Amino acid sequence: MEGDKALKPCPFCGADYARLEHDKNDYQNRRAWVECKHCGANTGKLEADAGYCADQIIIARWNLRVEQPNV
């Protein structure tokens, strides 16, 4: 998928197997999630409001990383 290029590696296992997924019957791409095909970690399903595509929102959530402070 084209959107997969924007996905960072899995924050849990570090594998570069994250994929953007959609419900098979969702032709408007309103229900989406990101899942690591190596360890199974996922964002959980997001359902966007009518007229919106969930892809960019769920990709941004997957790519969100919390920086650890240097102590």
CATH of residue 59's domain is 2.20.25
- Structural domain including 40 reads 2-63
Please name the residue that has the structure tokens 């899995």: 10
pTM listed for this prediction: 0.79
User: How many structural domains is the chain composed of?
Assistant: 1
In a domain, 71, yes or no: no
pLDDT beyond 90 at 29: no
Question: What does the pLDDT read at residue 69?
Answer: 65
Question: What does the pLDDT read at residue 61?
Answer: 92
Q: What phi and psi, each to the nearest 5 degrees, are found at residue 4?
A: -65, -25
In a domain, 70, yes or no: no
